[in-house]
Amino acid sequence: MSTNRETEPSQPLLVRLYVLATIGGLSALFLTLWQHGLAFWAIIPVLAGALGLALRWRGGVAVVLILLGFILLGQGYRHQGGFLAPPLFPSRALERSRAPFALTDLLLAASFLTYAAAQSRLLALTIGIFPTDPRIVAAARARRLVRMRHPRAKPLSPLETLPLPAQRRTARGPEGRELIRLFVGLPIWVALAIPIWLWLRGRRPGLPVSPEWWRAFVVLWGLGFLLIAGRAVFAYLRQATMTVEEARLYLQDVLWQETRAEQRLLNRWLEWARRRARTREKS
C-alpha cells in the first residue's frame, strides 16, 4: 500500500495486541469454565480456540461457541437429572440452578466476547476482512492458467487484467480508540443481556406449553419482530434517502413490472417485423 501512513514503524503492534487479547480471552474462558465446575472439559474449547489462533482459522470462533454450547448443555442436562447424560460431565449443586444466574455465567459471556472480538479483528488484519469474492478467485485462477501456459487457459478479458483488490485490513499503528471501545463495550453487552434474561425468566406461558418453550417462542417472536421492524425502517430510510437516479430506476422498474406482459408481446412482434425486414433486405 502506498499511502501517507504506510511506513509507520509500529505496523505489527496492532496484530500483537489482538493476539494478546485473544490469548487473554481464552485464558479467562478457561478459568471461568473451571470455576463453573467443568474440570478438564474446560480445556477443550480453549484448545480449539488456541488452534484457531495459531492457524488463523476462520471457523475458530464458531467452533469454540459450538463446543461451549455442547459442554454447557451437557453439564446442565446432567445436573438437571438427565438419565443419558455422559457420566464424565460433573454436576453442580442443584440449588445453584434456582438462582437466575451466577457471576461465572457473566464472566463466561464476557470472556467469550473478548475472545471472539479479538480473534475476529485479528483475522481481519491477517486473513481477510471481506468475504471471498468469487470474481477475484476466478480472475486469479485465469491468470494462473495463463502464466502456466495451461492448455485450458483462455485469453484474459481486459477487466481480468486489472489489479486484484486487497482483502485484508492493513495493520497500522495502535489504534487506541478501537481497543478502548472494544474493552468498554464488552461488559455493556453482557450487562444488557441480564435484564433481558430476567424479563424472559418472568414470562408465564400463555399457551399450554412449558415455561421454557414459551420463553423460546417469545425469543422467536422477538427476533421476528425485530427483523420485520428493522427491515421496514431501513426500507423506509432507503426510499427516503434515494437519489434522483435511484428513484427513477425504481419507478421504471415498477412500470415494467406492471406492464411487462404487454410490453413483451408488443416488442416481440416488433422484433419479428424487424427481423423479417432485414431478411428481405438481404435477399
Q: Which is nearer to other proteins, 12 or 69 (CB)?
A: 69
- Name the residue among 109, 106, 86, 82 with its Cα closest to residue 94: 82
Which region among 19-27, 49-57, 75-83, 142-150 touches other proteins (by CB under 8 A)?
75-83
Q: Distance between CA atoms of 134 and 189, rounded to whole angstroms?
A: 35
The site that binds other proteins (CB under 8 A) totals a number of residues, namely 110
In the complex, minimum distance from the CB of residue 98 to other proteins, in angstroms, rounded to a whole number: 6
In the complex, minimum distance from the CB of residue 264 to other proteins, in angstroms, rounded to a whole number: 6
Question: What binding mask, one character per residue, do residues 22-61 give for other proteins by CB under 8 A, x or -?
Answer: --------------x---------------------xx-x
Check: CB of residue 21 under 8 Å from CB of residue 114: yes
Which region among 19-27, 39-47, 142-150, 254-262 touches other proteins (by CB under 8 A)?
254-262
Question: What binding mask, one character per residue, do residues 220-249 give for other proteins by CB under 8 A, x or -?
Answer: ---x--x-------xx-xx--x-x-xx-xx
Which positions from 86 through 115 interact with other proteins, judged by CB under 8 A? 94, 97-102, 104-106, 108-110, 112-113
In the complex, minimum distance from the CB of residue 4 to other proteins, in angstroms, rounded to a whole number: 6
List the one residue from 212, 279, 281, 283 that touches other proteins (CB under 8 A).
Answer: 212
Here the cell at position 62 is: 464458531
Check: CB of residue 104 under 8 Å from CB of residue 32: yes
Q: Rule CB under 8 A: is residue 20 a binding residue for other proteins? A: no
In the complex, minimum distance from the CB of residue 50 to other proteins, in angstroms, rounded to a whole number: 19
Q: Rule CB under 8 A: is residue 266 a binding residue for other proteins? A: yes
Which positions from 188 through 207 interact with other proteins, judged by CB under 8 A? 189-190, 192-194, 196-197, 200-201
List the one residue from 213, 221, 225, 236 that touches other proteins (CB under 8 A).
Answer: 213
Q: Rule CB under 8 A: is residue 148 a binding residue for other proteins? A: no
